[in-house]
Structures are given as C-alpha cells and as structure tokens.
Structure 1
Amino acid sequence: MSEKKENSKKRALVAMSGGVDSSVAAYLTVKQGYDTRGVTMKLYDNDTIMCNSRTCCSLEDVEDARSVAFRLGIPYHVFNFKDEFEDQVIKPFIHAYETGSTPNPCIDCNRYMKFRALWIRAQMLLEDYIVTGHYGRIQYDGGSGRYLLKKAVDLSKDQSYVLYSLTQDELARTLFPLGEFTKDVTRQIAEEQGFINARKRDSQDICFVPDGDYAGFICGHTGKTYPQGDFVDMEGNVLGRHKGIIHYTVGQRKGLGLSLKEPMYVVKLDTEKNQVILGRNQDLMTRTFTVKDFNWIACSVPGSSMKADVRIRYRHHESSAVITPLSENRVSITFDQPQRAITSGQSAVAYDGDVVIGGGVIE
C-alpha cells in the first residue's frame, strides 16, 4: 500500500468490479485493519451496450463481488451511477469520434466516476479512503510535501498511465493495495482465499463496447447515420469513398477497403470536409505537439522547460522529450526522436523514472 499513516479505525470503501484484482484489494484492505465495505458501481444496463454476452454483463459481476464481500464479512452495496456515466464517459466518447479524435474512456471513467462521483458518495458514508484494484503506487514525499503516483512493481500490469488525472487531494484519500504485487501473486491470494473469481479472465477493450465495434456502438447509441466521404492522399487526390469519419483513427491501415499500390495509413481526419487523409508511414512521424488539461502531480508548474520520458498511448514505450509549459494546464512536448501516430484525444503522460510527473489530452 502507500506510505500513508494507517489506523485500524480508518474507514475504507473498496470499488469492487467483480474481478479478481478488486477482490484481492478488498481482502488486503481488511487484512490491514481498515473498517471496510465494498461497492459495485452500476454504470450501464446491458440494453445500453447491446450486450448478450456474459463476459460484459453486470449481473454476473455484481454476484461475484457480492460473493467475495460475503466471504470477507464486509458490508456490500451497489450504487447506481448510470446517469453520471452517460454524461461523463459515453457522451464525451461519442463526441470525440464525431469530431475526429480518438478518446480513452478509461481515463474519463477514473477521473469522473471512481475518484470523483464515488468519493462524493463515500463522504456521505463517512469513509476515509477509496480503494481500487489498480496496479499503481501512491507514496507521500516529505521533501516536496506532495503525494506521488508511481508505476506498479509489475510493469506488465502497470496502470499509472490511466491514473494521471488524480489530484493531490484524491491521491491523499486513495489506496492501491496491489501496487507491490504481480498478477500471479494476486491470483494466488484469490485462490488461497477461495474467491469465486480467482481465475476469472481480465476484461478486455472498453467495458461498454465489449465486441470492440466502436462505430457500431456509436450508431446504435445515437441512432445517427454518418455520411460517406472521400479518401484523399496528402495532395488532395481522391482515392475512394469512406463509410463515415467515426470508423477511422490516425495510424489505421487495416479496414480501409481500398486497393492501393502501396501501404497507406490514416494521417488525418478532416471533419469539416468529411475527408479521411491517407499517407505513407513516414507521414505519421511527428516530434512536437500540444497537450491540454495537463495535471501536474510530482511538482507544480515549472518555470521553464524540463526533460521527461513521455508515453502517448497506453501500450506505447516512453520516449525522451522536452516539456514546455504554455500555461497552468497546457504544455508543448517535443520528442528527441519523431514518434508515430501522435493522436488527438489520446493522452500524453510524462515520467521521471517510475514517478508520474503529470499528463493531459493530446490536442
């Protein structure tokens, strides 16, 4: 856990998704002496996501979480956050695709649901901490007087990238019990405790788009149809017809439905002209870009440029860059070496070793 002062009388509310990670997080919270209760956040109905598969349906997850809570002997609740999830996660997700960006809704879910809406409810229950099954670490740095967000020990499961929006107040009241563990150890603990979900497979993709068909979800959820338009090359020559802007993202090569003389990739989405601009791989390489809503964690806004290692996608390896503040929450980032497919709507997260300096949304 983090290096916060622990008190056996402190109260902790554990967000339990029904998966093995949050279940073991609940067990560890109880073991460390917290007055613990579990909660599952009901974020959508199956009809909302047009789901008929057990792997994404909330009823099974609720029952798994309830089973673990019963085994641990802790109170358990289900909170209805469907309206908040629609407003804070689904609508921005749809808007991003409609305007030519590629969003990361997991980041918005963490920001607005787990660490904001859930905390408001936790305060009503007089809880001291929120606990989640994220793989990350929180440590208090006495020298700077700040809470630090750090990578998990198990780098293959590290989720610090999707947690960069956490503020100092949120870090101070959050616990990540799994930060020091590997996934294998987590499953071993679950098996030792006889949890029903010890071998439950990890969720894949976006929870409300279980089949990975983002465009299909958007069309079904909005009832809209998105007009066809032209594929054009970098010189504006028409190469064919696309099936709607929402079907494409920067860097995409597969699924274009074109017969081309050489491999071509989506380089830009022009929503005003309803065009998908295609180019060669080298046309995707960029060094400098801007980032909005930048949340500084390890330090306050610096007075000058600073070096950092920057990640521009969840599975992207960090690369060396210079960060230049443009305002309190907007920065310019220049990589030492050009990077491929820096994409509007994705997030850029800066690191100093295993410490998250901060992060924001790519413009």
Structure 2
Amino acid sequence: MALDTAPELNSLGFAKPPSETRVVVAMSGGVDSSVVAAKLAEEGYDVVGVTLQLYDHGAALAKKGACCAGIDIHDARRVAEEMNFPHYVLDYENIFQDAVIDEFADSYLAGATPVPCIRCNERVKFKDLLETAKDLDADCMATGHYIQRKMGATGPELHCAADANRDQSYFLFSTTPEQLAFLRFPLGHLPSKDATRELAAQYGLAVADKPDSQDICFVPNGNYASVIEKLRPGAAEPGEIVHADGRVLGTHEGVIHYTIGQRRGLGIGGLSEPLYVVKLDVDAKQVIVGPKELLATRRVPVREINWLGEGKMTDKAEHHISVKVRSTRPPREAILRPISETEAEVELLSAEEGISPGQACVFYETESSRILGGGWIWRGY
C-alpha cells in the first residue's frame, strides 16, 4: 500500500508549479524590487508587476533619490519588458495624499516626529495594493523589503533580515497576520545588498548599479519644514526658545523647524553648555532646550499596537522583550506591560535619549530574530 506524501511546495510555499502560481510584485523601480520580479520570472512564476504613482508625475521626475518617482516608473516598466511579464502603473496619488502626506503634516505641526514610510506600507502598499493583487487573482504579493517570513507553529511569522545592516523590520511592524499570510519577501535571506546587485547583474538588469533611494520620497533633501510650510501655509508660528530652567534664550520661526534631540542649528549661540531640544510645546509655541541628560527616559507609552506574538498581548501582565525606538538604533532590553489590546507601557532596562512622540516602538523576541509587533510612541516626557 502506497504511503500518502505531502505535495512538494514551490519556493513561494504553494503546492503547485510556479507557472500556475500568480504573484504580483510591488515594483518601486529600484534594484531590490526589480531583482524580486526578475528572480520570480526566471523561476517560471506568473509574474505581474505593479508600480504605484504616489505623487505628481512631473514633480516626481525631477526629484532624485526618491522611490516611486517618474524615472522609477520608467525603470520598472523597462525591467518588465526585459523579463517579459506584464506591468501596470496605478495612480495612487489621492490615496497617498489622504493616508500618508496629510497625517505627516499634521503630526509635525503637533510636535511629533512621524515616520511616513511605515504609514505608506501599512495604509497603501499592504492595504490597497494588496487588495488589488487579490483582485488580479494573485496567490501572493512579493516585495523587495529586507525582512523574512518564516512558518511557525501557529502560522507565518515575521523575522529580521539575515543582513542586520539592511533589516527593515522597524518599518514593517504594523504588518498584520492576515497580510503576512499573503506576502512574500524573497530578499530577506540574502547576506548583503551586494548579493542583490550581483543577481541584478546576472539577470542583465539596467538598474543593477542604481543608487538606493534616500530620505522620505516626498521630502526633497530631507527638508521637512519646507514641505510642511507648503502643505499647511501659515501654520508655523514664531515663539520662544526656553531653557528647561525657565530662562528665555531666544526666538524661533516655528516649532516645525525642530526635533527632539536636536543640537545643531538652534539659533542660540554664546552659551557655555551644549544644549539639546528636550521638548516641543506646540500650545505655548515653545522649543524647550536643556542638557543632554534631560533627554534620557526609561518609560515609553505606546498605542495603536499591532501584536504579532503568540495569543493576545494581554494574556500576560509582562513581556520581557527587546525594543527599537528609532530605526537607526539597535534593540534594547525592555519590559512590555499591556494596558489594553492596543496600548501598553514599555519600560527600558537602560535609559534611551531623544525618544520622540510620533516615532515607532518595535517589539522583538529577545532570543530569536522574530518581530512581535510594535506601536506608536504617543506623548512627550
């Protein structure tokens, strides 16, 4: 009697040939997503490339170092032609404006330091674009993000990329279990970005040496204040620069020109001690500065939590985890104390400096590469 055997899975985890597996690839026009599309096409998958036009085509074309810009749409289309799969450009300008840019402007005016790339993944790419992929009868959607999807005991889990220098887990913590079931990240296991570029050269892609995108796509040269002033004319109001001890040290042209932890460009010279922005009081129109030690904090209130761990976050009174409070900093050991299913307090075992409302606080398992979710830091200290 023959024994039943489980059907062999293809590289995307489906029990059927690649040719019968349709995958929508989110193509930004950069080398990463181009390699994903080319790799899957080479493996024989039914690939459909989709690129989002997120803001005005003409203005985007003139902006160097951005993703989803005019030249990037051209590059994505060229890759699709080279690898012989269909490619579509979707106009998401209004969606992007409503879901990402408007909140970015309002958050800055409220004294926060937002991370629009996370909102773009959460509200545009992994929501509207993912639904479009399903409408195209895709089995899954693949992206060029450096992160890993691994199967665990209870389903797919989100894990850090093999290359810690390229890991994008901070920007993907809000990916839900339902989205994770449909998503694939073919680059997450690669040892380095050089390996990605080698694949691009192997496939003969014209974007093999294309530079990585820099800064936020709709913020030229990292000048946030100029963008806010265009989006919300007249919203920036002058006020006082005040020392934490109450001394008025000078004036400013708008709170939007400052961020928590900033030291340079404060406009208050002639002082013997180095001063940092320690708080932004929007209501009083004050930029509050003080010595570096005032930036340190151990307690971080977090809300809008997306939990990716086992069971419910509230199943335990405490979770001993590691957290990132900024994308450029390594995870630090912490204790997570749930308040509700979407709100918690994080206690850092060692103090961090420059924690700002509007930034993300991302949760990691301490003894593995697994991401347990995260949330948004929501008030000053």
User: When the two structures are superposed, what TM-score results if normalisation uses the length of structure 1?
Assistant: 0.95
Shift, 1:53, TM fit: 3.8
Using the alignment, how far apart are the partners of 1:10 and 1:111 within structure 2? 25
Using the alignment, how far apart are the partners of 1:282 and 1:17 within structure 2? 41
1:134 maps to 145
1:165 maps to 174
Using the alignment, how far apart are the partners of 2:65 and 2:348 within structure 1? 40
Matched, 1:102 2:113: yes
2:156 maps to 147
1:262 maps to 273
Structure 2 CA distance for partners of 1:71 and 1:359, relative to 1, 3 Å: same
1:325 maps to 338
Using the alignment, how far apart are the partners of 1:90 and 1:250 within structure 2? 21
| Counterpart amino acid of residue 361 in structure 2 | A
Matched, 1:196 2:196: no
Larger RCO, structures 1/2 (Cα 8 Å, 6+ apart): 1
2:6 maps to none
Contact 2:278 2:294 in 1 (8 A): yes
Shift, 1:90, TM fit: 0.2
| Counterpart amino acid of residue 179 in structure 1 | G
Matched, 1:288 2:299: yes
1:306 maps to 319
Shift, 1:128, TM fit: 1.8
Using the alignment, how far apart are the partners of 1:179 and 1:95 within structure 2? 34
Structure 2 CA distance for partners of 1:104 and 1:326, relative to 1, 3 Å: same
Q: Which one is further off, 59-68 or 73-82?
A: 59-68
Name which one, 1 or 2, has greater alpha-carbon Rg: 2
| Counterpart amino acid of residue 155 in structure 1 | A
Matched, 1:31 2:46: no
1:341 maps to 354
Matched, 1:238 2:248: yes
| Counterpart amino acid of residue 172 in structure 2 | L
Shift, 1:76, TM fit: 0.4
Matching residue within 58, 61, 66 for 2:69: 58
Using the alignment, how far apart are the partners of 1:133 and 1:316 within structure 2? 22
Deviation string 1:228-252 (CA, Å, 9 cap, x unpaired) is 1001111222110011011111101
Contact 2:25 2:36 in 1 (8 A): yes
Using the alignment, how far apart are the partners of 1:146 and 1:306 within structure 2? 21
Using the alignment, how far apart are the partners of 2:244 and 2:298 within structure 1? 19
Using the alignment, how far apart are the partners of 1:29 and 1:107 within structure 2? 26
Q: Which one is further off, 271-280 or 219-228?
A: 219-228
Contact 1:2 1:175 in 2 (8 A): no
Contact 1:3 1:140 in 2 (8 A): no
Contact 2:65 2:212 in 1 (8 A): no
| Counterpart amino acid of residue 347 in structure 1 | A
Matching residue within 236, 256, 263 for 1:253: 263
1:206 maps to 216
Considering only aligned residues, what root-mean-square deviation do their CA atoms show, in Å?
Answer: 1.6
Using the alignment, how far apart are the partners of 2:255 and 2:334 within structure 1? 31
Q: Could you tell me the percent identity over the aligned residues?
A: 40
2:193 maps to 183
Unmatched 5+ stretches in structure 2: 1-9
1:360 maps to 375
Deviation string 1:285-317 (CA, Å, 9 cap, x unpaired) is 000111001111122313220111110000111
Deviation string 1:16-61 (CA, Å, 9 cap, x unpaired) is 1110000001122223442111011000015667x73444482211
Contact 2:57 2:70 in 1 (8 A): no
Using the alignment, how far apart are the partners of 1:198 and 1:248 within structure 2? 37
Matching residue within 72, 85, 93 for 1:82: 93
Provide the secondary structure at the position in 2 that maps to 1:314. Answer: coil
